[in-house]
């Protein structure tokens, strides 16, 4: 697509580019950036990005409106007509709904990311609530104290807080900034007159009406959204409609003309002073949507661009060659700005993004195709609706949003990705940089997923609930439902965090002394699951995909029918399968109704990678459990059967074997060892059977208590004299060569027993 006023073009290219929304041989959206690449352009771009410069233009404009305010201030008291009273009552009702919405529904993240913005927003909502109640009371009853409270709330809190928020408004800044500031100044003027004349019903009504212009903006926005009207600029048109409704009630029939004239003069003055290129003007007038997660042109690109294939590579090469004006095989800053143009960035933001890309190395064709053309996450974007349904924990939801924003797919969010998002939301570039610096704890210029999860919660929670889960409509039920869902999610996480602190820290050994970061990671990853008495949580031999912490109740751990342990609150189970990728080694059953916190395999891996000491402690726990299970198995399954375990009173031998041996499982027909191969393991049969064969002929079958494989470890040849195959599902205990030699060194009697057994086998083997 081509911005209005673009004149120069890029060199011809024969193929359509997804970076241009699919058009063929068209002018580049930043074709004029060549003129904007020098120091003068940088200065202009800086001015464009500065909200202070924008607000400064209002001084001369407000001087022009002073005569109107002067005449208005000297107007005699007039009775309030029925039409005006209708506006008062409709506004009051609508404002109650809007304020309730703001108290219930989380604010847009751009108001929550910077501390001073959060404080300003709270002041704005609280003072607005006070002004609503006191102002309506003053209008209806003429109560002087209520009028004074209204005037003070407006002058000292609501008007200043509204003024500070104006540079970051949604919609087209060319319309929204002058409209908002004219309304704010008018609000302050009326409140000042009310403070001087608190007994005046007219000034109470005027103050109340101008206070409610934003409410009417929301009313019109909702109507336009429901009817699908003015989609490209409905927010900006909604504020104009609100002004057309309310300002004539204050200034009479010329009120709306005043608003339109003020906006037109502002645009003209701004264009004369600050605008240098068509691209800058396009950014100035472009609508910035409240619920975007990417600029509109960019969103179109994500839907339309093909997944990289051979044809796509040819098109990318043609586009790259068209950008590479000096034909050096790399893109410089000016050429990169042209490539970034379809993302809808301002000239300043495009220049900043280009600088960041160049800072990490030259942009050759392969990097261009990977980072700017193919965009490896296109497929995941197209399928994000499916992933939304599977997102359960905060970690899942944050991860979904993180992958959506990670345009280059490198697992990190850099300034480019954040600029695309935060600038689209209207956050000034200076605040974007400060926010990134505050969020980036290790100051490496990149946001990791852990930093994103904890430091950018307003961003991912908003995008997940209000963008990913939203439909095209804004029906109240759906809006409130999404908002309440976000609130309840946040409260559930807070409650889970407190429960982890209260119920688990003092009971779970590996959580002893856990800090806030670990507790936060746990709370963001855990899922609460409830099981009735008798329910089977885990079955021995099944694939393991979860780790559990017992929060309440009692669960029983059993193996082959033998009870190994009963675990209450603070107990943990299931770490073995996630650490070793082996099947479940035991069955877990709920003895009483029980509540457990579950970590999925992905969450477990992420948590233990971010907190290595947790992985180390869980490995130690798993090892202790393995030894305990081995000891039980030795006494139960191998007692009196394995030749060197006739005497189980030899506790040292039992302990050494339990410490060294590893359980292994073979399905029926699987080969355990092969004749002629090097031998490095000794085996004992725990359950099942093993067929021993030589040259294809089976000459022995071993059952529980049988052992084999000692010959290759005892003899000098170290080669297998026979093959062994599992006869049905078989569970074995094995010792590797090092463990085998350790046992023999510590217990010479075992060596003698095995040597005698091997001599007997050699003499009797055909």
Model pLDDT for residues 26-35, shown as the tens digit of each residue: 222 222 333 3
C-beta separation of 191 from 183 below 8 A: no
What's the rounded Cα separation, in Å, for the pair 500 and 667? 41
* CA–CA dist 467, 452 (Å, integer): 18
Per-residue confidence (pLDDT) for residue 196, from 0 to 100: 94
Classify domain 638-764 at the CATH class level.
mainly beta
Query: Which has more pLDDT, 352 or 244?
Result: 244
CATH of the domain spanning 529-631: 2.60.120.10
For the segment 619-638, the average pLDDT, to the nearest whole number, is 70
Q: What is the pLDDT of residues 137-147, one digit of tens each?
A: 999 999 999 99
Region of poorest pLDDT, from 257-266, 380-389, 465-474: 380-389
**Residue 342 near residue 409 (C-beta atoms within 8 A):** no
CA dist 583 and 685 (Å) reads 18
**Pairing relation of β-strands 730-736 and 662-666?**
antiparallel
pLDDT reading at 630 higher than 60: yes
Q: Residue ranges of the domains in the chain?
A: 46-75+87-288, 291-355+362-468, 529-631, 638-764
Beta bridge partners of residue 547, listed in sequence order: 599
Shared fold status for 529-631 and 638-764: yes
Q: Mind listing the pLDDT tens digit for each residue in 644-675?
A: 666 545 677 777 887 788 888 888 999 999 98
Q: Which residues contact 536 (CB under 8 A, 6 or more apart)?
A: 587, 588, 589, 590
- What is the rounded CA–CA span in Å between residue 6 and residue 9? 8
Q: How far is CA 365 from CA 157, 313, 326, 332, in A?
A: 54, 10, 14, 12
Is it true that domain 291-355+362-468 has CATH number 3.90.110.10?
A: no
Max Cα separation, the chain?
Answer: 126
CA angle 493–523–590, rounded 5-degree value? 105
Average pLDDT over residues 697-707: 88
Q: 517 is written with which tokens?
A: 């970061």
User: Is 540 within 8 Å of 559 (Cβ atoms)?
Assistant: yes
CA distance 673 to 692: 10
- With beta carbons less than 8 A apart as the criterion, state whether 394 and 489 touch: yes
DSSP state of 294: S
The answer to whether the beta carbons of residues 374 and 361 sit under 8 Å apart is: no
Closest CA to 722 of 749, 755, 695: 695
């Amino acid at each position: 697509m081509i911005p209005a006023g673009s004149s120069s073009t890029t060199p011809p290219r024969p193929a359509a580019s997804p970076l241009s929304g699919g058009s063929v041989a068209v002018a580049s959206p930043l074709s004029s950036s060549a003129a904007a690449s020098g120091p003068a352009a940088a200065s202009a771009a800086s001015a464009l990005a500065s909200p202070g410069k924008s607000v400064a233009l209002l001084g001369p404009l407000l001087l022009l409106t002073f005569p109107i305010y002067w005449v208005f201030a000297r107007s005699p008291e007039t009775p309030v007509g029925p039409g005006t009273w209708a506006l008062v009552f409709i506004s009051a009702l609508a404002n109650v709904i809007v304020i309730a919405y703001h108290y219930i529904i989380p604010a847009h993240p751009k108001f929550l990311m910077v501390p001073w913005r959060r404080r300003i927003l709270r002041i704005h909502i609280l003072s607005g609530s006070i002004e609503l109640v006191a102002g309506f009371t003053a209008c209806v009853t003429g109560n002087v104290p209520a009028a004074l409270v209204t005037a003070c709330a407006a002058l000292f809190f609501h008007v200043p807080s509204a003024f500070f928020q104006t540079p970051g408004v949604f919609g087209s800044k060319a319309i929204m900034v002058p409209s908002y500031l004219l309304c704010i100044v008018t609000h302050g003027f009326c409140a000042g007159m009310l403070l001087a004349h608190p007994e005046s019903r007219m000034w109470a009504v005027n103050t109340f009406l101008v206070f409610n212009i934003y409410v009417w903006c929301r009313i019109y926005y909702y109507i336009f959204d429901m009817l699908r009207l003015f989609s490209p600029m409905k927010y900006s048109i909604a504020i104009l409609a609100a002004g057309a409704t309310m300002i004539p009630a204050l200034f009479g029939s010329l009120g709306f003309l005043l608003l339109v004239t003020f906006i037109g003069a502002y645009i003209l003055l701004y264009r004369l002073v600050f605008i240098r290129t068509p691209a800058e003007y396009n950014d100035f007038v472009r609508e910035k949507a409240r619920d975007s997660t990417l600029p509109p042109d960019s969103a179109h690109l994500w839907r339309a661009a093909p997944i990289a294939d051979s044809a796509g590579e040819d098109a990318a090469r043609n586009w790259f060659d068209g950008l590479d004006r000096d034909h050096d095989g790399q893109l410089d800053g000016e050429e990169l700005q042209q490539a970034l143009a379809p993302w809808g960035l301002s000239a300043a933001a495009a220049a900043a993004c280009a600088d960041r890309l160049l800072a990490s190395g030259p942009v050759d064709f392969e990097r261009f195709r990977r980072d700017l053309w193919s965009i490896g996450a296109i497929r995941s974007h197209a399928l994000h609706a499916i992933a939304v349904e599977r997102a359960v924990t905060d970690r899942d939801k944050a991860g979904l949003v993180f992958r959506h924003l990670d345009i280059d797919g490198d697992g990190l969010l850099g300034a480019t990705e954040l600029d695309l998002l935060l600038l689209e939301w209207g956050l000034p570039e200076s605040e974007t940089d400060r926010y990134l610096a505050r969020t980036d704890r290790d100051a490496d210029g990149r946001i990791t997923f852990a930093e994103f999860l904890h430091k950018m919660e307003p961003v991912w929670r908003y995008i997940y609930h209000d963008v990913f889960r939203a439909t095209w409509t804004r029906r109240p039920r759906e809006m409130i439902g999404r908002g309440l869902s976000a609130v309840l999610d946040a409260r559930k996480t807070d409650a889970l965090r407190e429960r982890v602190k209260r119920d688990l820290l003092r009971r779970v050994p590996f959580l002893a002394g856990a800090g806030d970061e670990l507790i936060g990671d746990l709370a963001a990853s855990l899922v609460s699951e409830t099981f009735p008495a008798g329910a089977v949580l885990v079955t021995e031999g099944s694939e393991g995909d979860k780790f559990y912490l017992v929060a309440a109740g009692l669960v029983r751990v059993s193996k082959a029918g033998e009870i190994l342990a009963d675990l209450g609150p603070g107990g943990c189970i299931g770490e073995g399968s996630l650490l070793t990728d082996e099947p479940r080694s035991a069955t877990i059953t709920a003895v009483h109704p029980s509540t457990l916190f579950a970590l999925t395999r992905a969450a477990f891996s992420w948590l233990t990678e971010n907190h290595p000491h947790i992985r180390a402690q869980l490995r130690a726990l798993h090892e202790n459990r393995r030894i305990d299970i081995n000891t039980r198995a030795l006494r139960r399954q191998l007692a009196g059967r394995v030749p060197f375990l006739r005497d189980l009173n030899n506790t040292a031998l039992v302990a050494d074997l339990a410490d060294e041996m590893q359980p292994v499982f073979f399905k029926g027909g699987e080969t355990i060892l092969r004749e002629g191969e090097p031998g490095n393991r000794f085996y004992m049969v725990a359950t099942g059977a093993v067929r021993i064969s030589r040259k294809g002929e089976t000459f022995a079958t071993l059952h529980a208590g049988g052992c084999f494989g000692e010959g290759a470890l005892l003899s000098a040849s170290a080669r297998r004299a026979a093959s062994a195959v599992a006869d049905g599902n078989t569970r074995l205990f094995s010792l590797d060569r090092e463990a085998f030699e350790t046992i023999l060194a510590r217990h010479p009697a075992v060596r003698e027993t095995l040597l005698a057994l091997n001599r007997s086998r050699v003499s009797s083997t055909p």
